[in-house]
């Protein structure tokens, strides 16, 4: 059991409203069709969902923005969308979050539509998901546009989150150049990675894959604590990163800190799991925010682990408020 100084936590939480974080990555719209099932279709052996409610929200890198906003953190958003009606919805949703419209750069592509993922839910059960997307890497001109925007705002930011859903925004070249620029300016860089880019995030402050992703990248299963420790140490060493976090579902998370050459295993705090959708976005958002606000690596991991325990108890890609976070930390008696 690891403990957190309550005074330090509260001091960091109070700084979040002045914290600014650049979010760069794949912007997605999440649509939910929520209803109930009372019968099977006469046309095919599938359930008929009687839709009673619909909602559209930010997904992918947009869900990171949403999580940061809930904490009071301001975001500068860099990404790509289509030149279509869905992009207008994306803009409208971003405008409701704590983002800086004058600092955001959302490229409008004629080639790539705005990504839309539709989830059909009956009760607490996801019946199916419908994906509407075409994935192509950024063109050289698009990459240059994002890099120029990034270079203009990096000095104002406290940290950078790379939210990689492998939809084409984060190319190998853009990953390398953004991390280099951020490191030159001594900024925190956190990465929610994709396996296809796994060893391209060199010099990032921390990466936050789940144990399946980390294992796949290394070509092995990560099941025991010792296997996770070995993997975290290797990945951090290969990437020349000061730390490495592996999230482990019901086993919580493991954080390797290079300067201490030690892995800390933090047990889960979830009471009941309804939906793990978006939990990774919450982890990286909360971890980055509190690290930028002055907490240490282990302290920030304890807080982000508690945040994940809150959101998996909700339906869909949800967020956690500071009030919910404080309550979760107090209930688990992690304060000393």
pLDDT digits (tens, 9 = 90+) for 80-91: 999 999 999 999
Instruction: Look at residue 125 and tell me if it is in a domain.
Output: no
Rounded Cα distance between 171 and 86, Å, is 23
Q: Identify the DSSP state of 183.
A: H
Residue 331, pLDDT score: 85
Q: List Cβ neighbours of 211 (8 Å cut-off, separation of 6 or more).
A: 222, 223, 228, 246, 247, 248, 249
- pLDDT of residue 238 exceeding 50: yes
- CA nearest neighbour of 247 among 213, 272, 273, 210: 210
Whole-model pTM: value is 0.93
Angle at 65 (CA atoms; ends 64, 68), nearest 5 degrees: 85
The number of folded domains in the chain is 1
Distances (CA, A) of 253 to 8, 12, 62, 63, 309: 22, 22, 23, 21, 11
Instruction: Look at residue 166 and tell me if it is in a domain.
Output: yes
Look over the chain and give the mean of its residue pLDDT values, rounded to a whole number: 93
For 111-120, 125-134, 267-276, 283-292, which range has the lowest pLDDT when averaged over its residues? 267-276
Mean pLDDT over 297-323 rounds to 86
Residue 123, pLDDT score: 84
Instruction: Look at residue 130 and tell me if it is in a domain.
Output: no
Residue 182 pLDDT class (50, 70, 90 cuts)? very high
Residue 273 pLDDT class (50, 70, 90 cuts)? very low
The CATH code of the domain that includes 179 is: 3.40.1190.20
Rounded Cα distance between 244 and 235, Å, is 7
Cβ burial of 274 (10 Å; 0-12, 13-18, 19+) is: middle
Rounded Cα distance between 168 and 196, Å, is 11
pLDDT tens profile 155-174: 999 999 999 999 999 999 99
Instruction: Look at residue 262 and tell me if it is in a domain.
Output: yes
Instruction: Look at residue 214 and tell me if it is in a domain.
Output: yes
Looking up tokens 């192509």 gives 136
pLDDT tens profile 37-63: 999 999 999 999 999 999 999 999 999
Kindly write down the DSSP assignment for every residue of 39-81, as one continuous string: EE-SSSSSEEEEEEEEEEEEEEHHHHHHHHHHTT-EEEEEEEE
- pLDDT of residue 16 exceeding 90: yes
Which range marks the domain in which residue 281 is found? Answer: 6-28+59-114+135-331
Three-class SS state of 180: helix
Residue 270, pLDDT score: 53
Catalytic residues: 281
- Strands, sheet with 188-192, edge to edge from the N-terminal-most edge strand: 105-109, 74-82, 20-25, 159-163, 188-192, 206-207
Residue 8 pLDDT class (50, 70, 90 cuts)? very high
Instruction: Look at residue 53 and tell me if it is in a domain.
Output: no
Instruction: Look at residue 48 and tell me if it is in a domain.
Output: no
Q: Which residues of 158-170 are buried (b: 16+ CB within 10 A; e: fewer)?
A: bbbbbbbbebbbb
**Torsions phi, psi for 215 (to 5 deg):** -65, -40
Q: Identify the DSSP state of 210.
A: B
- pLDDT of residue 317 exceeding 70: no
């Amino acid at each position: 059991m690891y403990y957190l100084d309550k005074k330090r936590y509260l001091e960091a939480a109070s700084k979040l409203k002045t914290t600014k974080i650049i979010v760069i990555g794949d912007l997605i719209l999440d649509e939910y069709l929520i209803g109930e099932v009372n019968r099977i279709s006469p046309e095919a052996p599938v359930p008929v969902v009687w839709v009673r409610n619909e909602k559209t929200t930010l997904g992918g890198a947009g869900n990171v923005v949403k999580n940061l906003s809930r904490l009071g953190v301001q975001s500068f958003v860099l990404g790509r969308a289509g030149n279509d009606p869905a992009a207008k919805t994306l803009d409208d949703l971003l405008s409701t979050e704590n983002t800086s419209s004058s600092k955001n750069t959302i490229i409008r592509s004629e080639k790539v539509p705005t990504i839309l993922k539709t989830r059909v839910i009956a009760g607490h059960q996801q019946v199916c998901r419908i994906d509407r997307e075409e994935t192509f890497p950024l063109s050289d001109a698009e990459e240059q546009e994002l890099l120029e925007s990034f270079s203009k705002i990096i000095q104002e930011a406290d940290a950078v989150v790379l939210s990689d859903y492998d939809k084409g925004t984060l190319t190998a070249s853009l990953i390398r150049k953004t991390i280099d620029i951020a490191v030159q300016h001594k900024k925190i860089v956190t990465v929610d990675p994709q396996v296809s880019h796994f060893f391209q995030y060199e010099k990032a402050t921390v990466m936050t894959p789940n144990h399946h992703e980390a294992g796949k990248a290394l070509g092995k299963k990560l099941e025991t604590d010792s296997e996770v420790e070995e993997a975290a140490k290797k990945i951090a060493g290969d990437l020349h990163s000061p730390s490495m976090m592996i999230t482990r579902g019901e086993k919580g998370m493991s954080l390797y800190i290079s300067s201490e050459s030690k892995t800390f295993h933090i047990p889960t705090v979830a009471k009941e799991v309804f939906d793990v959708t978006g939990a990774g976005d919450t982890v990286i958002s909360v971890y980055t925010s509190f690290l930028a606000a002055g907490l240490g690596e282990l302290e920030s991991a304890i807080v982000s682990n508690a945040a994940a325990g809150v959101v998996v108890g909700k339906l869909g890609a949800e967020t956690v408020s500071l009030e919910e976070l404080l309550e979760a930390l107090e209930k688990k008696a992690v304060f000393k």
